[in-house]
Amino acid sequence: RAVQEELFEGAISVHYDDRTQFTPGWKFNEWEMKGVPLRIEIGPREVRDNRVVAVRRDTGLKISLEATNLVRDVRNILDSVQKTLFSRAKMFLEEHTVRVDDYSSLKRVLDERGGFIKACWCSSQECEDKIKVETGATIRVIPFNQEPVWSGCIYCGKTADKVVYFARAY
């Protein structure tokens, strides 16, 4: 509990799982499924050596940390996890995004490949609704930092004012 308090005082969100009805493996899996980025393990050896074991969810890497610099080290690990996950997500988005210029291409890509479709859009709710009804795809992202539009609206052909990402739910 001292480790929990130290991390909490260091503005790090912590949950101490002291449930005894579950095995450690079951609890590890549960927290991993919930998306917890870092697990801290403390057993008799760690208590004796004044250390903790930190396990990164993104890589599974186990890191032995001294208890004396715990807040600093945990922050550094969490920053590293964030950068790694962001980089992976960005790469996934780039690899699974297709830019299209016309509605027939949008439908073809949805049917043959799926993923994200980058297209120009006129900001009309009517166009968005028709695309959803006809294809099952909806706008998933309207980037804050808009790149220049390169064509008319993907659906109606009128002047587009936004670049958006379409996808189907799965």
One-letter-per-residue 3-state SS of 94-126: HHCEEECCCHHHHHHHHHHCCCEEEEEECCCHH
Confirm if 130 and 114 have CB atoms less than 8 A apart.
Answer: no
Residues 80 and 138 in one domain: no
Residues 86, 101: one domain?
no
Same-domain status, 118 and 52:
no
- Measured in whole angstroms, the distance separating CA 11 from the mean position of its chain's CA atoms is 22
In this structure, the answer to whether residues 29 and 104 fall within a common structural domain is: no
d(CA 165, CA 3): 43
Same domain (yes/no): 70, 119: no
Whole-angstrom distance, CA of residue 37 vs CA of residue 59: 10
**The two three-digit tokens of residue 2, written as one number:** 């001292």
Query: Which CATH number characterizes residue 139's domain?
Result: 3.30.110.30
75 and 101 share one domain: no
Domain check: are 51 and 69 in the same one? yes
Give the domain-ending residue among 90, 111, 141: 90
Q: Give the total number of structural domains in the chain.
A: 2
What pLDDT score was predicted for residue 8?
Answer: 86
Residue pair 151/136 in contact by the 8 Å Cβ criterion: no
Q: Can you give the pLDDT of all 170 residues of the chain as single tens digits? A: 788 888 988 889 999 999 999 999 999 999 999 999 999 999 999 999 999 999 999 999 999 999 999 999 999 999 999 999 999 999 998 999 999 999 999 999 999 999 999 999 999 999 999 999 999 999 999 999 999 999 999 999 999 999 999 999 87
- The Cα–Cα gap between 128 and 154 comes to 10
Q: Are 156 and 128 in contact (CB under 8 A)?
A: no
Q: Are residues 62 and 11 in the same domain?
A: yes
7, 15, 64 from 18: Cα distances, Å: 17, 9, 21
16 and 49 fall within a common domain: yes
Q: Which two tokens stand for residue 146?
A: 């808009």
**Do both 81 and 21 map to the same domain?**
yes
What pLDDT, on the 0 to 100 scale, is given for residue 155? 98
**Strands ordered across the beta sheet of 162-168:** 97-99, 116-121, 162-168, 137-141
Predicted local distance difference test score (pLDDT) of residue 89: 93
Q: Which domain holds residue 118?
A: 97-168
For position 58, which CATH number holds? 3.40.50.800
Q: What is the pLDDT of residue 100?
A: 97
Amino acid 2: pLDDT: 85
Residue 84 shares a structural domain with residue 140: no
**pTM metric for this prediction:** 0.73
